[in-house]
């Protein structure tokens, strides 16, 4: 998910996406612990998506506090 796509989402949608990504990351880690994933880069991609979502959410919080 690109940053430009994330910025178009509402704050509520971003929070929901964070929850979905976190659940997905847990499932990926569990599956990888049991048997190796076909593409272990999915774990890294999921972590980066969570970080992007949290970054945009934090930027919105800061801009709301300044006004």
Q: Domain range holding 61?
A: 3-66
Rounded Cα–Cα distance for residues 56 and 58 (Å): 5
Nearest C-alpha neighbor of 61 from the set 1, 15, 8: 15
How high is the mean pLDDT in each 10-residue block of the chain (67 residues)? 91 97 97 94 96 96 88
We report the CATH number of the domain holding residue 41 as 1.10.287
CA-CA distances (angstroms) from residue 23 to 30, 59, 60, 67? 11, 23, 23, 34
pTM for the whole structure: 0.90
């Amino acid at each position: 998910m690109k940053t430009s796509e994330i910025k178009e989402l509402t704050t509520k949608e971003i929070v929901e996406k964070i929850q979905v990504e976190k659940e997905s990351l847990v499932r990926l880690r569990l599956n990888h612990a049991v048997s190796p994933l076909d593409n272990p880069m999915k774990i890294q991609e999921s972590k980066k998506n969570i970080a992007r979502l949290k970054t945009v959410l934090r930027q919105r919080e800061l801009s709301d506090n300044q006004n």
